[in-house]
Amino acid sequence: MEERKMPLIGEKFPDLEVQTTHGKKKLPAEFDGKWFVLFSHPGDFTPVCTTEFVAFQRRYEDFKKLNCGLIGLSIDQVFSHIKWVEWIKENMDFSIEFPIIADDLGKVANTLGIIHPAMGTNTVRAVFIVDPKGVIRAMLYYPQELGRNIDEILRMVKGLQLSTEKGVAIPANWPNNEIIKDDVIVPPASSFKEKEEREKAQAKKEIECLDWWLCHKKV
């Protein structure tokens, strides 16, 4: 099988037909008009992955409120996923509601470039955040020994949605930034005319600026 590199931010998510615990689905068409997060895990019945799936499920309603779906993936067969989901329900009392891709031949993982050469056939802990147009907006890449922070993934979806809707940028640690708190950043002026418009907006108290190139506002 020819190895492929991971897609890039700003590229279209590749068209894929996948087998999941919820039946066959086509990506990204399954989430047409919605955001979705695809996350891969090294394997079923592994400790860190189990904690991650419970954490994703606990925040599933929060993702749904953002019009954002979830879908997992690993190089396991569908019966393994089903048994693992049943084990989580029986032993941890969490029902995994989102589908999990069964990629036992590794074709999906290979297309997404998430099989690390040094890790055998296991997928890495990758995260793809995809917008309603099927465009990859963000990616995260974790080592096997480090579980993901699901709250950060939620924050990223919220921030990307806000940036898309309002044409703004999101500061570090938003919405608890050390300098501008929960404000968002107005993109820097790209011309003298825009610079003058920023100054007028600042005079009207529509925005606040530390300098003409570093302006922020409430949303």
- Helix 78-92 vs helix 47-58: crossing angle, to nearest 10: 70
- Annotated catalytic residue: which of 49, 68, 209, 215? 49
Residue 68 known to be catalytic: no
How do strand 68-74 and strand 100-102 relate by DSSP bridges?
Answer: parallel
Nearest to 28 by CA among 39, 18, 20, 40: 18
Q: Residue 189: is it exposed, middle or buried by C-beta count within 10 angstroms (0-12/13-18/19+)?
A: middle
Which of 131, 100, 95 minimizes the C-alpha distance to 12?
A: 131
Catalytic residue positions, numbered: 49
